[in-house]
Amino acid sequence: MEKKISSLADLSSLVILLFQNCIGKQSCSVSVVPDVFGGDPCPNANKKLSVEAICS
């Protein structure tokens, strides 16, 4: 089951995090850990994050 972005604030925080770590770089990584994403709503469940950015 995928966790949905529950608010505009959640989405804004994610976009800011990605901009700070990835924009202007040929490649980047972001740690997908509870400390970065504000907690773990489903402990002991496998999770993944997939992001695709296209620069022009």
Burial of 23 (0-12, 13-18, 19+ CB in 10 A): exposed
The full set of domain ranges for the chain reads 1-56
pLDDT digits over 1-56, tens only?
Answer: 445 555 556 677 778 888 888 888 888 887 777 777 777 878 888 877 777 777 77
Cα–Cα distances (Å) from 21 to 4, 7, 36, 46, in that order, read 22, 22, 12, 23
Phi-psi region of 28 (alpha: psi -120 to 50; beta: other; left: phi over 0): beta
Q: What is the pLDDT of residue 14?
A: 79
Q: What is the pLDDT of residue 5?
A: 55
Q: How far apart are CA 12 and CA 42, in angstroms?
A: 22
Q: In the structure encoding, which two tokens stand for residue 34, read together?
A: 């509870």
